[in-house]
Structure 1
Amino acid sequence: MARRQAVVEEAPIEILDEGDSQGQGIDFAIIVTTSILLIGALVFAMMALGDHYGRGPLAG
């Protein structure tokens, strides 16, 4: 029985240099801002609907 051998071509490894990576700070700022806005909207909705949907700490 004959053996078959596969030929594997190895691709060169490319190293990507992202420079100073200042984009990470912008991404973090967007995440923080979005989180604050969503939490604010949730608090506002809880205050506005507090009388209709039971009593809670924010029922106004």
Structure 2
Amino acid sequence: MDYLYDEGDRDIIFFGFIIGVVSFDREDNPYEKSEADRFNHALRLANFLISDLAPLK
């Protein structure tokens, strides 16, 4: 069962990094986005990355 928790932790950390990417620029200045926009942009980026990496499996 521990591996399920480890997998979930990795997913949360990955999504946290994605939210950071769509929320701040290279100089760590925040983009002026609402929470909904940040979440939607993070989902779009995560879907793109996952779909782009799928053929490599």
* Structure with larger Rg: 1
- TM value normalised by structure 1: 0.42
- TM value normalised by structure 2: 0.44
User: Which protein is richer in helix relative to its size?
Assistant: 2
